[in-house]
Amino acid sequence: MTAGRPTKVKVTIDSVDASSFLINYDLNPSSEASVKSISIEMNSGVYASIPNLQTIPNNLTVVVQRGVSVATEQTIFQGKVVERQTVGNRVILKCNDNLFEAVKKNITKTFDKNVDTEAGKISEIFITLATTAGLTADSTSVTDSGTAILLDKFICNNVDIMDRMDILGEILDCQFFYNSSDNKTYFQPQGTRAGTDTLTVGTNVVNRPVWKRDGTKVVKKAVLFGGPIETQTQESFDGDTSETEFTLAKIPTSTKIVVDGTLQAGGIESQSISTVDYFVRAVTLTGTNKSVGQIKFSSGSVPGSGTNNIVVDYSFTSPIVINASNPVSEGLEIRLDKPDLITVEDCRQFLSKFMNRHQEDFLSTTLAVTNVTDLEVGQSVTVIDSNENINNAFIITKIRKRFPYAFDEVTVDNKPLETENWEISIEDRIRRIEERLLQEETLVIFDRPANRTLKVGREWAKKQKKDITGDELIWGNVRQGIWGTNEWAASTSGSVVLVKLQQGADIYVEDFLNTDFDSGGSATWGSTGSVTFTAGQVAQSTSADFGNGTITQVRLISTEVSGTFLYEVTADGTNWETTTSDTLHIFINTGTDLRWRATENGASTGEISKIKLGEYH
């Protein structure tokens, strides 16, 4: 753009030049909002030229340009109308730039490092998000995040695209914005783009800046409380045959108790289990607010007399605590709670950087800039103010562009990014964000509307149990989950038994689309819609209904394609009784295990496409 004062302006609405109706505009983007907004005031004559502005104004396209020689030298805004007001003979439009499309559109997708083309690369995921929102983003506008840091899984479960863009920005401390001048969406670290001009008071800065020195954030002393770390310890007590309660110094997260050399079985206090020797609970010490752990032995397991004959090995959690100070005479004394920092080194690194950036005043000011037109929010720029002996790099946090033009108001400061976690390693931040997304929902659900009514019936539900015998180690079990006492069992340990099986609506329908109920008869039980027979072959089901009440009758209905068949049913899983298709059968031997059997008995081939059992409950 030509150097000078950009006083020439062009405003295009709904592809119509509306510049002659312009009264003023105010474009005031800041680093606090990714979507830029502009307020445009025009006289009401614009309605005659753009009728849609009066009838259906929302979502009409808006382009604002300005220049020194001609109005089209620089595009400073591209977006759509989101609000219109008519005040007397004036029309006031509020417009959002095109990045607002990412707010309006939702996405349902899981980016898997091992499946999708983005391969977990953060910059590639951002490009896909932008493209899905209808925006343009490519390698020229998105800073390559490299392959050292990859996301294993990035879940977008029916959320607006802007929300997921924010998360990607949080991971890498990147800003993202829409640049109207080239119609592209950018994703890059704040300060990556440097302004080509130095802002010098008395040259291209026409005001006498009032510098704000914010000393309220200078920190003299700080105590950081990090995340919990687990510590193991041991305490011993003397038994006396009567005492059942023993108080620990900490609240345990896991325990192992040995009394007179015998390992004790722990449990939960609210449960009544005869084989449990002790319970663990938290209590408050009398006269204090301090909570500690307490071991309470059950009445049948009171420890006998002895010196240190009760040995309690347990783990407890406590926060990491780090202290630091700055060499300043005045400042805040603060506490920082950072439960996400789970190592001592992370805590020290965080606190060191925090103290370094909080030992001096923060500087900020608003500059009246003229003859400089390539400034953008998030850019780094050098500011020289010889009156205040300032010659430093600052970050642009806000730019206000107005018409009629006098100058641009540019707000700068030297504060670092305000993201709470930017000092934490990127690897840890990715881990926590992935955990957060997994907690939101790991099942991504799509809703596809149909033009017809589709009724879906319930199929069947089955309850099974597996009995574990012996002393295998079982994770989380109060009796068989004690470390150091048992060993992991093989995956096949124990046996699975059927407890109950119930068909949806108590109607069994076999369409031969799977082999869920195939007991392994000689007939060919297909998975494409039928079972086929040669002479004398048998098709037999497993339990069609089990443990669901006594069965006294059943109606079997068979859809035969060809052949001649003998049909049998059993209510107890053992005694078979002959029945006829589509005839109510009354059982001689009642029971709770319903099955069917079909035998080709016509000395020929045969085929059945459906078997239905009903009226048994």
b/e map 202-235, b = 16+ CB within 10 Å? eebbeeebeeeeeeeebbbebebbbbeeeeeeeb
Mean pLDDT, range 536-549, rounded to an integer: 95
Instruction: Calculate mean pLDDT across residues 293-314.
Output: 93
Give the pLDDT mean for 487-506. Answer: 77
The pLDDT of residue 471 is above 90: no
Per residue in 435-469, pLDDT (tens digit) is: 555 555 444 444 455 555 556 667 899 988 876 66
Distance CA 281, CA 305 (A): 23
Q: Which residues are within 8 A (CB) of 516 and not within 5 positions of it... i.e. 6 or more apart?
A: none
Beta strands in 304-389 (DSSP E): 306-325, 332-338, 362-369, 380-385
What is the CB neighbour count within 10 angstroms for residue 492? 7
User: Which range (17-31, 380-394, 465-479) has the least confidence?
Assistant: 465-479
Query: Is the confidence at residue 562, as pLDDT, over 80?
Result: yes
d(CA 490, CA 472): 9
User: In 24-146, where does DSSP find H-type helix?
Assistant: 46-49, 52-55, 101-104, 122-132
On average, the pLDDT of the chain sits at 85
Which of the two residues, 287 and 421, has the higher pLDDT score? 287
The span from the first CA to the last CA of the chain, in angstroms, equals 84
Backbone phi, psi, residue 280, to 5°: -115, 135
User: What pLDDT does 318 receive?
Assistant: 83
Give this prediction's pTM.
0.52
Q: Rounded to the nearest 10 degrees, how much is the dihedral formed by the CA atoms of 511, 514, 518, 523?
A: 70
pLDDT interval class at 85 (50, 70, 90): very high
Beta-carbon contacts of residue 376 (< 8 Å; ≥ 6 apart): 177, 179, 193, 195, 396, 399
Q: What are phi and psi of 330, to 5 degrees?
A: -130, 145
SS3 49: helix
